[in-house]
Amino acid sequence: MNRSKRRTGRRHPLATAALLALGLVFTGGAYAAFSTTTAQAEPSPTSQETIEEGGKLFQANCATCHGLEAQGTNEGPSLIGVGAAAVDFQVGTGRMPMQMQGPQAEQKPVQFTDEQIKQMAYYVASLGPGPDIPADSLVNGGGDAANGAELFRINCAMCHNVAGAGGALTEGKFAPPLTDVSGVHIYEAMVTGPQNMPVFNDLNITPEDKRDIITYLQYVQDNRSPGGFELGSLGPVAEGLFIWIFGLGAIVAITVWITAKSN
Protein backbone atom coordinates (compact mmCIF):
# COMPACT_ATOMS: atom_id res chain seq x y z
CA MET A 1 0.00 0.00 0.00
CA ASN A 2 2.66 2.37 1.09
CA ARG A 3 4.83 1.57 -1.83
CA SER A 4 2.11 2.12 -4.35
CA LYS A 5 1.09 5.39 -2.71
CA ARG A 6 4.61 6.63 -2.89
CA ARG A 7 4.82 5.74 -6.54
CA THR A 8 1.77 7.76 -7.62
CA GLY A 9 1.76 11.45 -8.64
CA ARG A 10 4.62 13.21 -10.31
CA ARG A 11 7.20 10.88 -8.80
CA HIS A 12 5.72 7.93 -10.67
CA PRO A 13 8.36 6.25 -12.86
CA LEU A 14 6.12 6.66 -15.91
CA ALA A 15 5.49 10.35 -15.31
CA THR A 16 8.21 11.41 -17.73
CA ALA A 17 6.85 9.19 -20.44
CA ALA A 18 3.30 10.45 -19.84
CA LEU A 19 4.46 14.02 -19.97
CA LEU A 20 6.31 13.36 -23.18
CA ALA A 21 3.26 11.69 -24.72
CA LEU A 22 1.03 14.56 -23.65
CA GLY A 23 3.38 17.06 -25.20
CA LEU A 24 3.51 15.11 -28.44
CA VAL A 25 -0.27 14.81 -28.61
CA PHE A 26 -0.70 18.54 -28.15
CA THR A 27 1.92 19.49 -30.68
CA GLY A 28 0.71 16.89 -33.18
CA GLY A 29 -2.92 17.81 -32.59
CA ALA A 30 -2.27 21.47 -33.03
CA TYR A 31 -0.29 20.75 -36.18
CA ALA A 32 -3.00 18.49 -37.56
CA ALA A 33 -5.69 21.06 -36.74
CA PHE A 34 -3.61 23.73 -38.39
CA SER A 35 -2.94 21.71 -41.54
CA THR A 36 -6.59 20.58 -41.90
CA THR A 37 -7.79 24.13 -41.60
CA THR A 38 -5.52 25.10 -44.48
CA ALA A 39 -6.73 22.09 -46.52
CA GLN A 40 -10.34 22.89 -45.80
CA ALA A 41 -9.93 26.44 -46.94
CA GLU A 42 -11.68 26.15 -50.31
CA PRO A 43 -9.70 27.86 -53.00
CA SER A 44 -11.65 31.01 -53.62
CA PRO A 45 -12.83 31.18 -57.23
CA THR A 46 -11.92 34.79 -57.56
CA SER A 47 -8.68 35.00 -55.62
CA GLN A 48 -5.68 35.88 -57.72
CA GLU A 49 -3.61 33.33 -55.85
CA THR A 50 -5.90 30.44 -56.78
CA ILE A 51 -5.91 31.39 -60.41
CA GLU A 52 -2.13 31.77 -60.47
CA GLU A 53 -1.63 28.37 -58.83
CA GLY A 54 -4.10 26.85 -61.24
CA GLY A 55 -2.29 28.48 -64.12
CA LYS A 56 0.98 26.92 -63.04
CA LEU A 57 -0.60 23.47 -62.74
CA PHE A 58 -2.21 23.96 -66.12
CA GLN A 59 1.06 24.91 -67.79
CA ALA A 60 2.79 21.89 -66.28
CA ASN A 61 0.13 19.28 -66.93
CA CYS A 62 -2.33 20.36 -69.60
CA ALA A 63 -0.62 22.85 -71.89
CA THR A 64 1.07 20.17 -74.03
CA CYS A 65 -2.24 19.39 -75.68
CA HIS A 66 -4.46 22.35 -74.84
CA GLY A 67 -1.86 25.06 -75.53
CA LEU A 68 -0.08 27.44 -73.18
CA GLU A 69 -3.01 29.85 -73.17
CA ALA A 70 -5.60 27.01 -73.24
CA GLN A 71 -6.31 28.13 -76.79
CA GLY A 72 -6.25 24.52 -78.08
CA THR A 73 -3.88 22.71 -80.46
CA ASN A 74 -4.20 19.91 -82.96
CA GLU A 75 -3.98 17.51 -80.04
CA GLY A 76 -6.66 18.98 -77.82
CA PRO A 77 -9.55 21.45 -77.92
CA SER A 78 -9.58 25.02 -76.66
CA LEU A 79 -10.68 25.29 -73.06
CA ILE A 80 -11.71 28.93 -73.20
CA GLY A 81 -15.31 29.11 -72.07
CA VAL A 82 -15.67 25.45 -70.98
CA GLY A 83 -16.07 26.60 -67.39
CA ALA A 84 -14.92 25.26 -64.04
CA ALA A 85 -17.46 22.40 -64.23
CA ALA A 86 -15.76 20.83 -67.26
CA VAL A 87 -12.34 20.82 -65.58
CA ASP A 88 -13.72 19.56 -62.30
CA PHE A 89 -15.43 16.67 -64.15
CA GLN A 90 -12.60 15.70 -66.49
CA VAL A 91 -9.79 15.94 -63.96
CA GLY A 92 -11.91 14.96 -60.96
CA THR A 93 -12.92 11.62 -62.55
CA GLY A 94 -9.37 10.91 -63.73
CA ARG A 95 -10.17 11.28 -67.42
CA MET A 96 -7.70 14.17 -67.74
CA PRO A 97 -4.76 14.35 -68.13
CA MET A 98 -5.47 11.80 -70.83
CA GLN A 99 -3.30 8.70 -70.91
CA MET A 100 -3.59 8.00 -74.61
CA GLN A 101 -5.61 8.99 -77.63
CA GLY A 102 -8.54 6.65 -78.22
CA PRO A 103 -12.20 6.61 -79.07
CA GLN A 104 -12.75 8.50 -75.84
CA ALA A 105 -10.86 9.45 -72.68
CA GLU A 106 -10.87 6.51 -70.28
CA GLN A 107 -11.32 6.86 -66.56
CA LYS A 108 -8.23 6.21 -64.44
CA PRO A 109 -7.08 7.02 -60.89
CA VAL A 110 -7.40 10.73 -60.16
CA GLN A 111 -4.03 12.46 -60.57
CA PHE A 112 -4.52 15.61 -58.45
CA THR A 113 -5.76 16.63 -55.04
CA ASP A 114 -9.13 18.30 -54.69
CA GLU A 115 -7.41 21.61 -54.07
CA GLN A 116 -5.31 21.34 -57.21
CA ILE A 117 -8.34 20.36 -59.30
CA LYS A 118 -10.24 23.39 -58.01
CA GLN A 119 -7.27 25.67 -58.73
CA MET A 120 -7.09 24.45 -62.33
CA ALA A 121 -10.87 24.69 -62.64
CA TYR A 122 -10.91 28.33 -61.54
CA TYR A 123 -7.95 29.13 -63.73
CA VAL A 124 -9.85 27.80 -66.76
CA ALA A 125 -13.02 29.56 -65.58
CA SER A 126 -11.07 32.82 -65.45
CA LEU A 127 -10.34 32.54 -69.19
CA GLY A 128 -13.96 32.87 -70.25
CA PRO A 129 -17.46 32.40 -68.82
CA GLY A 130 -18.76 28.83 -68.63
CA PRO A 131 -20.75 26.48 -66.39
CA ASP A 132 -19.65 26.58 -62.77
CA ILE A 133 -19.26 23.76 -60.27
CA PRO A 134 -22.83 23.17 -59.00
CA ALA A 135 -24.00 24.14 -55.54
CA ASP A 136 -24.23 21.35 -53.01
CA SER A 137 -28.03 21.67 -52.77
CA LEU A 138 -28.36 20.52 -56.39
CA VAL A 139 -26.29 17.38 -56.06
CA ASN A 140 -27.01 16.01 -52.59
CA GLY A 141 -29.95 13.88 -53.68
CA GLY A 142 -32.76 15.82 -52.04
CA GLY A 143 -35.03 15.83 -55.09
CA ASP A 144 -37.93 13.79 -56.44
CA ALA A 145 -36.68 10.34 -57.48
CA ALA A 146 -39.81 9.45 -59.48
CA ASN A 147 -39.56 12.56 -61.64
CA GLY A 148 -35.82 11.97 -61.99
CA ALA A 149 -36.36 8.36 -63.04
CA GLU A 150 -38.80 9.40 -65.74
CA LEU A 151 -36.44 12.10 -67.05
CA PHE A 152 -33.57 9.64 -66.92
CA ARG A 153 -35.46 7.08 -69.01
CA ILE A 154 -36.41 9.70 -71.59
CA ASN A 155 -33.09 11.56 -71.85
CA CYS A 156 -30.29 9.29 -70.65
CA ALA A 157 -31.28 5.61 -70.74
CA MET A 158 -30.77 5.11 -74.47
CA CYS A 159 -27.03 5.37 -73.90
CA HIS A 160 -26.57 4.74 -70.19
CA ASN A 161 -29.19 1.93 -69.80
CA VAL A 162 -32.26 2.29 -67.55
CA ALA A 163 -30.36 1.17 -64.50
CA GLY A 164 -27.30 3.30 -65.37
CA ALA A 165 -25.26 0.22 -66.28
CA GLY A 166 -23.77 1.88 -69.35
CA GLY A 167 -24.03 1.02 -73.01
CA ALA A 168 -22.30 0.93 -76.38
CA LEU A 169 -21.96 3.80 -78.86
CA THR A 170 -20.53 3.74 -82.35
CA GLU A 171 -16.87 3.19 -83.23
CA GLY A 172 -15.67 1.95 -79.88
CA LYS A 173 -17.17 4.82 -77.93
CA PHE A 174 -19.40 4.04 -75.01
CA ALA A 175 -21.60 5.54 -72.34
CA PRO A 176 -19.99 4.65 -69.00
CA PRO A 177 -21.84 3.05 -66.10
CA LEU A 178 -23.22 5.54 -63.57
CA THR A 179 -23.15 3.10 -60.69
CA ASP A 180 -20.47 4.93 -58.70
CA VAL A 181 -20.37 8.46 -60.04
CA SER A 182 -20.80 11.28 -57.53
CA GLY A 183 -23.68 13.72 -57.79
CA VAL A 184 -21.37 16.64 -58.58
CA HIS A 185 -19.80 14.79 -61.49
CA ILE A 186 -23.18 13.71 -62.88
CA TYR A 187 -24.36 17.31 -62.77
CA GLU A 188 -21.17 18.59 -64.38
CA ALA A 189 -21.41 15.96 -67.12
CA MET A 190 -24.94 17.10 -67.93
CA VAL A 191 -24.00 20.78 -68.23
CA THR A 192 -20.69 20.31 -70.06
CA GLY A 193 -21.28 17.23 -72.24
CA PRO A 194 -17.95 15.42 -71.83
CA GLN A 195 -16.61 13.01 -74.51
CA ASN A 196 -19.57 12.04 -76.69
CA MET A 197 -22.29 13.14 -74.34
CA PRO A 198 -24.62 15.92 -75.46
CA VAL A 199 -24.98 19.06 -73.33
CA PHE A 200 -28.19 19.27 -71.33
CA ASN A 201 -28.37 22.99 -70.61
CA ASP A 202 -30.66 24.62 -68.09
CA LEU A 203 -33.34 25.24 -70.73
CA ASN A 204 -33.35 21.58 -71.73
CA ILE A 205 -33.44 20.21 -68.22
CA THR A 206 -33.80 22.72 -65.40
CA PRO A 207 -31.39 22.58 -62.45
CA GLU A 208 -34.22 21.17 -60.31
CA ASP A 209 -34.83 18.40 -62.84
CA LYS A 210 -31.12 17.65 -62.88
CA ARG A 211 -31.25 17.38 -59.12
CA ASP A 212 -34.13 14.90 -59.49
CA ILE A 213 -32.15 12.80 -61.96
CA ILE A 214 -29.21 12.72 -59.54
CA THR A 215 -31.61 11.77 -56.75
CA TYR A 216 -32.84 8.81 -58.81
CA LEU A 217 -29.31 7.66 -59.66
CA GLN A 218 -28.29 7.92 -56.03
CA TYR A 219 -31.37 5.89 -55.09
CA VAL A 220 -30.25 3.16 -57.51
CA GLN A 221 -26.68 3.38 -56.18
CA ASP A 222 -27.76 3.10 -52.55
CA ASN A 223 -30.50 0.48 -52.91
CA ARG A 224 -29.58 -2.95 -54.14
CA SER A 225 -32.05 -4.67 -56.42
CA PRO A 226 -34.98 -6.02 -54.38
CA GLY A 227 -34.84 -9.18 -56.50
CA GLY A 228 -31.32 -10.24 -55.50
CA PHE A 229 -28.07 -10.05 -57.46
CA GLU A 230 -28.49 -7.77 -60.47
CA LEU A 231 -26.21 -9.70 -62.89
CA GLY A 232 -24.76 -6.36 -63.95
CA SER A 233 -28.21 -4.87 -64.67
CA LEU A 234 -27.54 -5.76 -68.30
CA GLY A 235 -30.98 -7.13 -69.04
CA PRO A 236 -31.95 -10.31 -70.88
CA VAL A 237 -28.46 -11.07 -72.25
CA ALA A 238 -27.03 -11.57 -68.79
CA GLU A 239 -30.14 -13.50 -67.74
CA GLY A 240 -29.92 -15.79 -70.78
CA LEU A 241 -26.23 -16.48 -70.22
CA PHE A 242 -26.92 -17.18 -66.57
CA ILE A 243 -29.69 -19.72 -67.22
CA TRP A 244 -27.65 -21.52 -69.87
CA ILE A 245 -24.41 -21.70 -67.92
CA PHE A 246 -25.49 -21.94 -64.29
CA GLY A 247 -29.16 -22.98 -64.49
CA LEU A 248 -28.89 -25.62 -67.17
CA GLY A 249 -25.36 -26.46 -65.99
CA ALA A 250 -26.67 -27.32 -62.54
CA ILE A 251 -29.57 -29.28 -64.00
CA VAL A 252 -27.32 -31.33 -66.30
CA ALA A 253 -25.02 -32.05 -63.36
CA ILE A 254 -28.08 -33.36 -61.50
CA THR A 255 -29.15 -35.55 -64.43
CA VAL A 256 -25.68 -37.07 -64.53
CA TRP A 257 -25.82 -37.65 -60.79
CA ILE A 258 -29.27 -39.27 -60.95
CA THR A 259 -28.34 -41.68 -63.72
CA ALA A 260 -24.87 -42.47 -62.39
CA LYS A 261 -24.33 -46.16 -61.74
CA SER A 262 -23.57 -46.94 -58.14
CA ASN A 263 -20.08 -48.28 -57.65
Partner 1 sequence: MSTATTRAPQRRTFTAAASNYIDERTSVSTFVKELGRKAFPDHWSFLLGEVALFSFLVILITGTFLTFFFQASMAEVEYDGSYVPLKGVEMSVAMASTLDISFDLRGGLFVRQMHHWAALLFVAAIGLHMLRIFFTGAFRKPRELNWVIGFVMFILAMGEGFTGYSLPDDLLSGNGLRIIDGMIKGIPLIGTWTSFLLFGGEFPGTAIVGRLYTLHILLLPVILLALIALHLLFVVVHKHTQYAAPGRTQQNAVGPPILPIYAAKAGGFFFLVFGVLALIASLFTINPIWNYGPYDPSPVSAGTQPDWYIGFADGALRLIPPGWEFVLFDRTWSFNILVPLVGLGLFIATVLIYPFIEAWVTGDKREHHIVDRPRNNPTRTAIGAAGVTFYAVLWAAASSDIIATHFKLTMEGVIHSLQALLFLGPIVAYIVAKRVSIALQKKDREIVLHGYESGRIVKLPGGEFIEVHQPLDEYDRWKLVSYESYEPLMIRPNARGKITVGQRLRAGMSRWFFEDRIAPVTKGELEAAHHDHH
Numbered residues of the known binding site:
62, 65-66, 156, 159-160
At CA 95, angle to CA 154 and CA 93, rounded to 5? 70
From 64-72, 92-100, 110-118, 217-225, give the range in contact with partner 1 by CB under 8 A: 217-225
| Pairwise CA distance, residues 27 & 20, whole Å | 11
Min CB(84)–partner 1 separation in Å:
30
Contact present, 133 and 85 (Cβ < 8 Å): yes
Residue 168, beta-bridge partner list: 174
| Pairwise CA distance, residues 82 & 192, whole Å | 7
Q: Which of 69, 169, 179, 207 binds partner 1 (CB under 8 A)?
A: 169
Min CB(239)–partner 1 separation in Å:
5
Torsion of CA 31, 32, 36, 39, to 10 degrees: 70
| Pairwise CA distance, residues 248 & 244, whole Å | 5
At CA 97, angle to CA 91 and CA 101, rounded to 5? 125
- Binding flag, residue 101, partner 1 (CB under 8 A): no
- Binding flag, residue 216, partner 1 (CB under 8 A): yes
Q: Which of 171, 203, 222, 262 binds partner 1 (CB under 8 A)?
A: 171
| Among 134, 46, 120, 55, CA closest to 90 | 120
- Binding flag, residue 142, partner 1 (CB under 8 A): no
Decide whether 59 or 155 has the Cβ nearer to partner 1.
155
- Binding flag, residue 162, partner 1 (CB under 8 A): yes
Q: Which of 3, 8, 172, 263 binds partner 1 (CB under 8 A)?
A: 172
| Pairwise CA distance, residues 137 & 177, whole Å | 24
Torsion of CA 24, 29, 32, 34, to 10 degrees: -110
Annotated binding-site members for heme c: 62, 65-66, 156, 159-160
Decide whether 132 or 150 has the Cβ nearer to partner 1.
150
Q: Which of 148, 184, 187, 205 binds partner 1 (CB under 8 A)?
A: 148
Map the footprint of partner 1 across residues 242-261, applying CB under 8 A: 242-244, 246-248, 250-252, 254-256, 258-259, 261
From 8-16, 36-44, 185-193, 229-237, give the range in contact with partner 1 by CB under 8 A: 229-237
* Strand stretches in 50-170, DSSP E: 167-168
Contact present, 83 and 194 (Cβ < 8 Å): no
Q: How many residues does the chain have?
A: 263
- Binding flag, residue 31, partner 1 (CB under 8 A): no
Min CB(251)–partner 1 separation in Å:
5
- Binding flag, residue 107, partner 1 (CB under 8 A): no
Q: What is the 8-class DSSP label of residue 247?
A: I
> Rule CB under 8 A: which residues touch partner 1?
103, 145-146, 148-150, 153-154, 157-163, 165-172, 174-175, 216, 219-220, 225-231, 233-244, 246-248, 250-252, 254-256, 258-259, 261
